[in-house]
Structure 1
Amino acid sequence: MRNIYKFLFFLLMFISFLDTIVGVAVNTTSAVLITVDQSGKGDFQRIQDAIDAVPSQNSEQIFILIKPGIYKEQVVVPEDKPWITMSGTNETSTIITWSGPWHTLQNTTVSILASDFVGRNLTIQNTYGPGIQAVALSVFGDRVAFYGCRIFSYQDTLFDTSGRHYYSNCFIQGATDFIYGDALSLFHKCYIHSISENGGAITAHKRSSMDENTGYSFVSCNITGIKPNSVVLGRPWGPYSRVIYAYTSMTNAISPEGWNDWNNATKRSTSYYGEYMCYGPGARSSKRVEWSHQLTSDQAKPFLTKDMINGHEWLRPAPTQFKKPSFSLKPKK
């Protein structure tokens, strides 16, 4: 009998340990529905008010449906509010917009600090323009996915900073280091558009050691720009920067050398920049910098699927069942 109690004790301890690693199990087929509508016909008129209403450490999936409109506000999903989905009805008609330079998180249009967040069918933009960092979207949480979203700015559009992330069928536009940070992220079937006039970079990844399992992979994407030879695929923010492009169409906006060492030749031997089965005039490899890699199938394989981000463990479909919230829907003062 004592052995049974001992077994149950260790079993409970193990379950508690798992909870601290992967979080509380959540029913992903159903969700609490909250609507945001500027006309006043929804639960809230502001997106941030809807997020503020969600209880801290909630254990239910929350689906915030944002009706068409231009929402001029800054949105923060705090760390203690996981399992939130923000969804527009159409990415061209549901727009979250702000204009301001980036100094702190408070100067980002949308900031995702929580884990298990999903964004769907949204436009997120910072209209500040050139001259200084102006972040549209910053992503700090783990297990975060965006589907069919449009993300616009000029310099440092997407601060993809930490955690595992998945971007599917998204449009991302900028000129200088407009996808940057130190996350482990897969960009699948995304449209990447550079508005650089000269010398811009798409990525600035910040991996700082070989032991970090981080990097960006672009698979089956399209890359365009406004001028020929005006942008490179990436430059190393961190010494072990890692970026891969595979099965991706590249126009002549990509400079023939492909990559830039950010005026630091020591990073050439530690950065890992690779291309696999890319095509189009910007994908020609004959003039690529000698320290980049044209990958073999075995070298490219770890970067080609959702396994790269352990996506089979956490990516989830949109909920199919909805219910009313049990918490108050009054805006907090």
Structure 2
Amino acid sequence: MSESIYTLRVSRAAAGAYPTISDALAAADQLYPDAEQPVMIRVDPGEYCERVEIHRSHVTIEGETADSVRIVGSLGAKMPSEDGSGVDGTLGTFRTYTVLVDADDVRLENLTIENDAGDGREVGQAIALYADGDRLVVDACCIKGHQDTLFLGPLPPHEAKPGGFIGPKQYAPRRVGRQYFRRCRIEGDVDFIFGGARAYFEGCEIRSLNRDMDVNGYVTAVSTPEGEPHGFVFHGCSFTAPDGVAPDSVYLGRPWREWAQTVLIDCWLGRHIKREGWWDWNKPAAHNCVQYAGAILHGPAGDTTGWVPWANELDVMAAAGYAREQVLAGVDGWDPEGGDGDAVETAELSANGRTVHIETYCEDEPALRARLKREGRSAAFTGKTPADFETWKIATRTRLYDVLGLSLMDRVPIEIRELSRVRVAGGIVRTHAMLQVERDVWMPFYLLEPSHPKLDERGLKRCYICPHGHQGAGAASVAGVAGVPAVDDAVRKFNYDYGLRLARMSYVTVCPDARGWGYRRDWKGQGDDENSYLRGTCLNQARMAEPLGLTVAGLNVWDNMRLIDYLEARGDIAMDDLGCFGFSGGGYMTLYLAALDPRVRKAFVSGYLYGVDDSLLHLNGNCSCNYTPGLWRLLDMGDIASLIAPHPLLVQSCEEDHLNGSRGLKNVDEQLEIVRDAYKLLGRRDGLRHEVCPGEHHLGVTYLAEDIEWLDSHVAECAPVHSPSACCE
């Protein structure tokens, strides 16, 4: 098989692109007739109302984000067939698919695949994804429907009713394929994950929709062939339901055929799951054949003592036999992720099954209140005469101009407290720790260390700091924490797991929680509801900090400078190659840190660089952390970005990003002209790069590897790195 990968683009608007995914697949067969030739099909944002059939191996279909790329079909089993074939002249189940995968080594990523035909009681079964191939990977996708949403072939050997299997594979050999679903959201009501494949679901949300019935639905209907070692395995998955689904109303599964196998490992089960777990579909013979089992289950329905007697609870040793690399290995040793299974957070999920319950928060309000008591009114008038007052007034007015507040920060010795350490897929060790950034204030962060990190010529590790933005529960999404559906939503929508992506590219990455986010939320934003969990308390931070002469921007710069101090003290980091990478609010923190601390030698700013007038004054509903008193009287964003020169700077913008303002990219270009002038003046014209991505506000990852390679190759030969102590002590 050739090592090169040919790429085709699908877009409803871009010149030279294919208008549909089906057109791109047909073109791939014409342009690259070698079926072993890998083909990448990249899909721009949009809704694609088409039936997609993949009959070619080694095909990857990748959207910008799962939230922005939707493939939608509308066929139901009760609809009439064009040729009159089928039971009662209807389509039947297996001709309703939106996407068909009929090939090996196919990968689907960042897509929503939907069958919107509607309620199965009215339209019948309606398949969104029909998958019948070996070594299939479905990553960060949403698969949506009602009844029979996701079919994982092969079909059973024989139909229960004549004509029931009419469709693309009715006469095909019954070959069991291996299929891997990672960080997906799969939703439906009746038998919405069914079939005979060997399928592994890792870190997925399995969402049961409401039918307002006593038995509201069945999650699985498996038809594992007799003699197969494995059927469906769910690891680190969350079984959820929207409000309104009655408690104790949804079965985990029923056997489509008697040898069905469904095993749940380290999963969270919501209160909608029936306490007996499973139903035999009036097939008592299945009691002696099925393998319905679970281990290390959590949530309101996680207790297996009420399960039917023919289902099993596995001990820890038996559960280890269902690791991904064992279930999917086959004769060729296939493991789509490599290494240990993902460390998941299902044991810590809150009552809604979509967020993590945090018992103890590392908030900093108490420290700020203590600061007020220690330092408040320190410049109050203490004189005795009108002359004393005039002198005090002049001096105080001068002091009020010191608005950034970095000179007021407390420098403390570096101290680290490790909270946890786990191994994640890809040979990466993820450490959750806290760094003391000032007196009484601690900053939690995730440290991702690959087993084989990139090294410079001295054997020092190459590293990126990856601050987060204003979505995705703080650092958790950037670090790629798995098994938390609310975090997964942000990853699918924005490609938010860039700390993990860089770690998989062999960089050490550090993903800190900013002030008021994640584990640092103050009292007003603490809680398990999704709005609180995903958002921050920047406004609260600003209201507390600014009267003390501090700013949120200054506090975050300080914290990230202290993080650099920690990396410098380790002794194993290539400090003259240190990078900072951020999207959205993480782009703002990257911009300020790289501008103020020369130890940052390369910067990737995505979704942030634009003019103040259009994007911050006009859109003045932005987060308060963007607003520093007095700053805009001095500088615009292009001026701040110019401070990064001559170090390489990559700025990424999206064509339809609302943060660009009403004039769009023109607003961005005006600021970039300021920055270009600085690089030109310093003789480093090639040290600035602007990348434009299609779609709305998100991190573009299509050319991430090339972007990082560009930054690496353009690290400026600057003076020796030093601590910026003069500006922050």
TM-score by length of 2: 0.39
Q: Which residue of the partner structure matches residue 19 of structure 1?
A: none
Q: Which residue of the partner structure matches residue 319 of structure 2?
A: 300
**For 2:287 and 2:2, how far apart are their aligned partners in 1?**
44
Q: Which residue of the partner structure matches residue 213 of structure 1?
A: 229
**For 1:240 and 1:104, how far apart are their aligned partners in 2?**
22
* CA-CA distance at 1:175 after TM superposition: 0.1
Q: Which residue of the partner structure matches residue 10 of structure 2?
A: 36
Pair 1:240-2:259 in alignment: yes
* CA-CA distance at 1:321 after TM superposition: 7.5
Q: Which residue of the partner structure matches residue 112 of structure 2?
A: 123
* CA-CA distance at 1:313 after TM superposition: 2.7
What does the per-residue CA deviation read over 1:152-211, in whole Å, with 9 as the maximum and x for residues that have no partner? 0000000011310000000000000000000001000000000143421100110231x1
Structure 1 SS opposite 2:301 = helix
Contact 1:57 1:82 in 2 (8 A): no
Q: Which residue of the partner structure matches residue 315 of structure 1?
A: 336
Structure 2 stretches lacking a partner, 5+ long: 78-91, 155-176, 338-503, 505-701, 707-729
* CA-CA distance at 1:315 after TM superposition: 2.5
* CA-CA distance at 1:59 after TM superposition: 2.1
Pair 1:111-2:85 in alignment: no
**For 2:313 and 2:93, how far apart are their aligned partners in 1?**
38
Contact 1:36 1:42 in 2 (8 A): no
Alignment of 1:180-329 (within 5 A): 180-197=194-211, 198=213, 199=215, 200-209=217-226, 211-226=227-242, 227=245, 228-310=247-329, 313=334, 315=336
Q: 1:208 to 1:33 in 2, by over 3 A?
A: closer
Q: Which residue of the partner structure matches residue 131 of structure 2?
A: 139
2:42 pairs, out of 65, 90, 101, with: 65
Letter in 1 for 2:208: S
Structure 1 stretches lacking a partner, 5+ long: 1-24, 323-333
* CA-CA distance at 1:314 after TM superposition: 5.7
**For 2:225 and 2:329, how far apart are their aligned partners in 1?**
21
Pair 1:154-2:146 in alignment: yes
What does the per-residue CA deviation read over 1:36-60, in whole Å, with 9 as the maximum and x for residues that have no partner? 0001434201100001112244222
* CA-CA distance at 1:298 after TM superposition: 2.5
Pair 1:98-2:73 in alignment: yes
More divergent stretch after superposition (87-96 vs 52-61): 52-61
* CA-CA distance at 1:26 after TM superposition: 4.6
Contact 2:328 2:334 in 1 (8 A): no
Superposition RMSD on alpha carbons, in Å?
2.0
Q: 1:42 to 1:152 in 2, by over 3 A?
A: farther
Q: 1:293 to 1:235 in 2, by over 3 A?
A: same
Q: 1:319 to 1:138 in 2, by over 3 A?
A: farther
**For 2:192 and 2:280, how far apart are their aligned partners in 1?**
16
What does the per-residue CA deviation read over 1:96-144, in whole Å, with 9 as the maximum and x for residues that have no partner? 0010114365421000001100000000000011221100000001110
Contact 2:76 2:93 in 1 (8 A): no
More divergent stretch after superposition (121-130 vs 200-209): 200-209
Pair 1:48-2:22 in alignment: yes
Contact 2:258 2:283 in 1 (8 A): no
Contact 1:105 1:111 in 2 (8 A): no
Contact 1:196 1:230 in 2 (8 A): no
Q: 1:304 to 1:196 in 2, by over 3 A?
A: farther
**For 1:314 and 1:250, how far apart are their aligned partners in 2?**
27
Q: Percent identity?
A: 30
* CA-CA distance at 1:148 after TM superposition: 0.2
Q: 1:314 to 1:34 in 2, by over 3 A?
A: farther
**For 1:208 and 1:71, how far apart are their aligned partners in 2?**
35
Structure 2 SS opposite 1:252 = coil
What does the per-residue CA deviation read over 1:277-313, in whole Å, with 9 as the maximum and x for residues that have no partner? 0101111122111111010122222212232111853
Letter in 1 for 2:40: F
Q: 1:98 to 1:33 in 2, by over 3 A?
A: same
**For 2:308 and 2:5, how far apart are their aligned partners in 1?**
49
- Which structure has greater strand proportion? 1
Letter in 1 for 2:181: Y
Structure 2 SS opposite 1:313 = coil
Letter in 2 for 1:148: A
Letter in 1 for 2:221: A
What does the per-residue CA deviation read over 1:46-90, in whole Å, with 9 as the maximum and x for residues that have no partner? 100001112244222111000000000000001xx1100000001
TM-score by length of 1: 0.83
**For 2:98 and 2:67, how far apart are their aligned partners in 1?**
17
Structure 1 moving runs of 4+ over 3 Å: 316-322
Contact 2:188 2:209 in 1 (8 A): yes
Q: Which structure's relative contact order is higher, taking Cα pairs within 8 Å and 6+ residues apart?
A: 1
